[in-house]
């Protein structure tokens, strides 16, 4: 299954070429106190108590221009989940409203004062061009949902800061919530189709607790332990959590 939605067009510099990849990082800003400002292209996450931390981040800079994207998972009403590299272990169960107990958060900053402070650079925007922002979610059965941010709360137009916290149980995403794992990818591309920045995470839904960064699985009627970052591969060919 593949769901396609039209792309979002927003401005970005054409000179962004160098990259710095950071795991388990703060993004330039993630604060629910930030006030939306459509005129300035500021569309921050809503809801109370949001904080920065534990993002898988891709930051690309060149001279006086930059873009930063980030993804993470968080436990609803609790806070960010500390990942194992790019793998986040999210809790099973449902919140009072019936949606899963975890959200995934995405972040895009193409030159706010917050990113300037983080990088210690003047990010005055020059030589702007269009770019597209696409969120892709894949489940264990390899169903793929490709979502363009333009079809959701952010209006069309220049976007300097965009942040959202979503749940796969929210009706407008229409993704089954019974998968044990999801691969999530946030990609920013220019008008020539070249990827400018990209963040990828895997969210594994389980209440199993790792020991020495390993999880117990039942593999072909044998109990094994595997590193957390390899869980997704085992689940795809039928392994289950816990001892046999």
For residue 150, what pLDDT is reported? 57
Domain(s) of CATH 2.60.40.2550: residues in the chain: 2-207
- Rounded Cα–Cα distance for residues 163 and 159 (Å): 10
d(CA 125, CA 243): 55
pTM: 0.85
Return d(Cα 165, Cα 45) in angstroms, integer: 6
CATH of domain 2-207: 2.60.40.2550
String of b and e for 201-220 (b: at least 16 CB within 10 Å)?
bbbbbbeeebeeeebbbbbe
Tell me the C-alpha to C-alpha distance, in Å, between residue 166 and each of 35, 47, 225: 19, 11, 31
Name the strand (E) or helix (H) holding 183.
strand 181-190
Residue for token digits 């949606």? 99
pLDDT of residue 147 exceeding 60: yes
Class of residue 57 by CB neighbours under 10 A (exposed 0-12, middle 13-18, buried 19+): buried
* Rounded-to-integer distance, Cα 55 and Cα 24, Å: 5
Location of structure tokens 């269009």: 130
pLDDT band at 181 (very low <50, low <70, confident <90, very high): very high
More confident residue, 120 or 15: 120
Which pLDDT does position 226 carry in this prediction?
92
Evaluate whether 33 touches 76 at the Cβ level (below 8 Å): no
SS3 114: helix
For the ranges 3-7, 65-69, 160-164, 224-228, the one whose mean pLDDT is highest: 224-228
Q: What pLDDT score was predicted for residue 5?
A: 31
**pLDDT band at 186; cut points 50, 70, 90:** very high
Least confident of 92-96, 98-102, 121-125, 196-200: 121-125
What average pLDDT does range 144-170 have in this prediction? 73
pLDDT at 137: 93
């Amino acid at each position: 299954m593949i769901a396609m939605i039209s792309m979002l067009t927003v401005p970005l510099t054409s000179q962004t070429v160098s990259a710095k990849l950071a795991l388990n990082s703060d993004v330039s800003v993630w604060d629910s106190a930030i006030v939306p400002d459509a005129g300035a292209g500021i569309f921050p996450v809503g809801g109370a108590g949001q904080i920065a931390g534990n993002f898988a981040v891709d930051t690309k800079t060149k001279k006086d221009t930059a873009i930063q994207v980030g993804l993470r998972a968080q436990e609803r009403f609790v806070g960010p989940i500390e990942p194992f590299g790019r793998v986040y272990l999210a809790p099973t169960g449902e919140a009072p409203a019936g949606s899963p107990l975890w959200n995934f958060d995405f972040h895009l900053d193409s030159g706010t004062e917050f990113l300037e402070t983080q990088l210690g650079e003047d990010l005055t925007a020059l030589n702007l061009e269009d770019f597209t922002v696409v969120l892709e979610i894949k489940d264990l059965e390899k169903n793929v949902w490709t979502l363009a941010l333009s079809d959701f709360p952010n209006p069309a137009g220049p976007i300097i800061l965009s942040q959202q916290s979503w749940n796969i149980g929210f009706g407008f995403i229409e993704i089954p919530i019974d998968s044990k794992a999801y691969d999530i990818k946030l990609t920013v591309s220019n008008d020539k189709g070249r990827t400018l920045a990209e963040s990828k995470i895997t969210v594994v839904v389980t209440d199993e607790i790792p020991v020495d960064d390993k999880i117990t699985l039942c593999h072909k009627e044998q109990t094994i332990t595997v590193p957390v970052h390899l869980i997704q591969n085992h689940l795809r060919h039928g392994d289950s959590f816990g001892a046999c």
